[in-house]
């Protein structure tokens, strides 16, 4: 009898400590990357690096990135002018196949801040302050190792102080006269060209509790463009998270706007998802990059190549939907949000009931012993 009562008491006790909105993003990701489908995809991706170099995809990518740098500098030849922590030679910096481990990233969890209904646009800054970031990405079919045209590539990241637009405020800084649900900064969608490539102008992300600095990516395949410049239909064939070199993060965090964030920085090695990606068959989830000018404040060009299985279809639950009339929040069990008065009252009453039941069981067990 005493053993039975002890087990019941312990079970009741766990109810008082469990967070109703908790979600172990890292645990979900670990289960995802261990799936047979992802393991099979990795094997197919392993042979793409050589093909990309032989077929000229890599050469075209380097030329594209050089043109981006030149356009920002207003010069015709940027060779040898810029340096990167990840490479000291400009040609190598702009090339994908020089560093095969960085080439392709496995699937990652979508996280709790995705907003569906975002606009097709390349400049997603919306006036947000911070270090300008030009993000260049290309998608490669894991079965053919060829570029994939007409992928609608979506990105979202937090701003310099660690806040996401488009979602319910759960404690981050938001200026605020209008609802954060209606804001769209640092979110957008672009269509890939014949080289499987697209670019965004965003702001280098800041940080928030528990996560390393990162950018979320999602790929829509077979989507239809609506008159309001959003996409619908098709399937989500790729979900990913992109990370940055730790030295680059430290340099950015020492600049204006970023250093006003007093939240402790979570380094890459302390981020569960980063570690799981990094340990998955040698994948390197860190973006390659170079500066766009002589100082960091002039901006950064970062790039990656992502493998995609066009037949894949991942479930993507959004935190909110952006409509023509503003944002509409969706509450899933794992989404953080600020509880209302009724939720707080119900929670307090429920907690009191649990404690009362636990105490009654304990007294019953003592009398029965």
Which tens digits make up the pLDDT trace of 275-286? 776 665 456 678
Residue 121 has pLDDT above 50, yes or no: yes
Model pLDDT, residue 336: 44
Whether residue 118 is found in the same domain as residue 136: yes
Q: Which residue has the tokens 């981006």?
A: 68
Residue 338 has pLDDT above 60, yes or no: no
Whether residue 17 is found in the same domain as residue 29: no
Model pLDDT, residue 178: 54
Residue 302 has pLDDT above 80, yes or no: yes
Of residues 96 and 255, the one with the higher pLDDT is 255
DSSP for 195-246, written as a single string: TSEEEEEEE----BTTB-SEEEEEEEES-EE-TTS-EESSEEEEEEEEE--H
Model pLDDT, residue 52: 87
Which one, of 12, 1, 22, lies nearest residue 337 by Cα? 22
Whether residue 40 is found in the same domain as residue 134: yes
Range of weakest confidence among 166-175, 190-199, 215-224: 166-175
Cα distance between residue 184 and residue 164, in whole Å: 9
Whether residue 190 is found in the same domain as residue 240: yes
307 confidence band (pLDDT: 50, 70, 90): confident
Residue 198 has pLDDT above 60, yes or no: yes
Whether residue 349 is found in the same domain as residue 307: no
Under 8 Å between Cβ of 153 and 211: no
Whether residue 294 is found in the same domain as residue 183: yes
Whether residue 199 is found in the same domain as residue 292: yes
Whether residue 4 is found in the same domain as residue 87: no
Model pLDDT, residue 83: 37
Write the CATH number for 306.
Answer: 2.60.130.10
Model pLDDT, residue 191: 98
How many of the other CB atoms lie within 10 Å of CB of 141?
17
Under 8 Å between Cβ of 217 and 136: no
Domain count, the chain: 2
Under 8 Å between Cβ of 99 and 131: no
**Measured between alpha carbons, how far is residue 56 from residues 68, 169, 297, 318 in Å?**
19, 46, 33, 38
Whether residue 51 is found in the same domain as residue 3: no
Of residues 234 and 92, the one with the higher pLDDT is 234
Under 8 Å between Cβ of 118 and 154: yes
Whether residue 132 is found in the same domain as residue 240: yes
Q: Which pair of tokens denotes residue 170?
A: 């759960």
Q: How many CA atoms lie within 13 A of 316 on its CB side?
A: 28
Whether residue 210 is found in the same domain as residue 353: no
Q: Which pair of tokens denotes residue 290?
A: 């170079």
Residue 173 has pLDDT above 60, yes or no: no
Give the distance, in angstroms, between the CA of residue 300 and the centroid of all CA atoms in the same chain.
Answer: 18
Domain, as residue range, for 241: 25-335
Q: Environment class of residue 337 by beta-carbon count within 10 Å: exposed (0-12), middle (13-18) or buried (19+)?
A: middle
Q: How many CA atoms lie within 13 A of 137 on its CB side?
A: 30
Cα distance between residue 114 and residue 103, in whole Å: 25
Of residues 217 and 15, the one with the higher pLDDT is 217
Under 8 Å between Cβ of 336 and 259: no
CA geometry: angle 28, 29, 33, nearest 5 deg: 125
| pLDDT 10s digits, 65-114 | 999 999 988 754 434 333 333 333 344 445 444 443 333 455 566 778 99
Residue 218 has pLDDT above 50, yes or no: yes
Whether residue 260 is found in the same domain as residue 363: no
Residue 33 has pLDDT above 80, yes or no: no
Model pLDDT, residue 240: 85
Of residues 20 and 119, the one with the higher pLDDT is 119
| pLDDT 10s digits, 348-358 | 777 777 777 87
Under 8 Å between Cβ of 187 and 156: yes
* Mean pLDDT computed over every residue of the chain: 77
Cα distance between residue 31 and residue 250, in whole Å: 31
């Amino acid at each position: 009898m005493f053993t039975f009562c002890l087990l019941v008491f312990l079970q009741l006790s766990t109810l008082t400590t469990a967070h109703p909105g908790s979600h172990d993003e890292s645990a979900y990701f670990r289960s995802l990357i261990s799936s047979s489908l992802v393991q099979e995809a990795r094997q197919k991706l392993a042979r793409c690096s050589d093909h990309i170099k032989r077929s000229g995809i890599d050469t075209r990518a380097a030329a594209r990135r050089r043109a981006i740098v030149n356009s920002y500098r207003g010069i015709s030849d940027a060779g040898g002018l810029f340096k990167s922590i990840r490479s000291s030679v400009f040609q190598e910096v702009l090339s994908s196949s020089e560093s095969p481990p960085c080439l392709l990233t496995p699937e990652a969890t979508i996280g709790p801040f995705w907003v569906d209904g975002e606009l097709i646009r390349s400049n997603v800054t919306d006036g947000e302050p911070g270090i300008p970031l030009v993000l260049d990405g290309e998608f490669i079919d894991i079965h053919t190792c060829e570029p994939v045209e007409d992928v609608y590539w979506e990105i979202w990241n937090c701003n310099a102080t660690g806040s996401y637009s488009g979602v319910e405020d759960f404690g981050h800084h938001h200026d605020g006269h209008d609802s954060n649900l209606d804001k769209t900064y640092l979110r957008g969608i672009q269509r890939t060209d014949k080289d499987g490539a697209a670019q965004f102008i965003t702001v280098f992300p800041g940080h928030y509790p528990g996560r390393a600095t990162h950018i979320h990516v999602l790929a829509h395949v077979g989507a239809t463009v609506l008159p309001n410049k959003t996409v619908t239909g098709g399937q989500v064939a790729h979900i990913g998270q992109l990370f940055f070199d730790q030295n680059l993060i430290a340099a950015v965090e020492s600049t204006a706007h970023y250093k006003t964030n007093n939240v402790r920085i979570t380094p890459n090695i302390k981020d569960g998802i980063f570690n799981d990606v990094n340990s998955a068959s040698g994948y390197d989830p860190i973006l390659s990059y170079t500066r766009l000018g002589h100082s960091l404040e002039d901006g950064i060009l970062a790039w990656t190549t992502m493998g995609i299985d066009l037949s894949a279809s991942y479930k993507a639950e959004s935190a909110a939907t952006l409509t023509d009339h503003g944002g509409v929040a969706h509450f899933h069990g794992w989404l953080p949000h600020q509880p209302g008065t009724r939720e707080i009252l119900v929670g307090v009453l429920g907690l009191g009931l649990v404690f009362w039941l636990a105490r009654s069981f304990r007294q019953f067990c003592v009398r029965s012993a």
